[in-house]
Amino acid sequence: MLETLIQYLDQYEELFIMIGVISAAVFVLTLLLTPYLLGLMPVDYFSSKRKHAIEIKSVWDFVKFILTTVIGIFLVLVGIIMLVTPGQGVISILLGLFLMEFPGKRELELKFIKHTPTYKTLNWLRHKAGKPPFNR
């Protein structure tokens, strides 16, 4: 059994090193970018009165929509990987979900923000960016 595991590790050593390096890089990026990205969100983003609608008026709006969706998908996938490797998996998944557009997104966001530990963590990260806390 141990020999089989050692052979498996030897056979896929490069893959494991690559996963470790990517995981470490994304970990550092999420540490640096999370407060900044949360700081870009308006204070009333989670207010139940705020309406969310996608408005694509120009080519640049469409490019931003595609770019944020691709980044969001990447963050969700990397966040899932970081659930079992070093990193901030849950925060990466949340950021990815906030960036993407999909049916039911608003309800999911409001459910997350109603969870007190999540609300406190997001506001702590906003504080690190020098921004006021979110309104619920």
pLDDT of residue 98: 81
pLDDT of residue 45: 81
Give the three-state DSSP class for 30: helix
Choose among 89, 90, 94, 111: nearest CA to 37.
Answer: 94
Asked if 86 and 94 count as a contact pair (C-beta separation under 8 A), the reply is no
Residue pLDDT tens, the chain, 136 long: 788 888 888 888 888 888 888 878 877 887 787 788 788 888 888 876 766 677 788 899 899 889 989 988 988 888 888 788 766 777 778 888 888 888 888 888 888 888 898 889 888 888 888 889 988 7
Considering Cα of 39, then 135, then 83, then 107, what sign does the dihedral take? Answer: negative
pLDDT of residue 50: 64
Asked if 19 and 85 count as a contact pair (C-beta separation under 8 A), the reply is yes
Q: What ranges do the domains of the chain cover?
A: 2-128
Quickly tell me which residue has 């459910």 as its tokens: 111
126's tokens? 């906003």
Q: At what angle do helices 116-128 and 105-114 cross, to 10 degrees?
A: 90
pLDDT of residue 70: 92
d(Cα 50, Cα 123) in Å, to the nearest integer? 18
Neighbour tally for 61: CB within 10 Å = 12
pLDDT of residue 66: 92
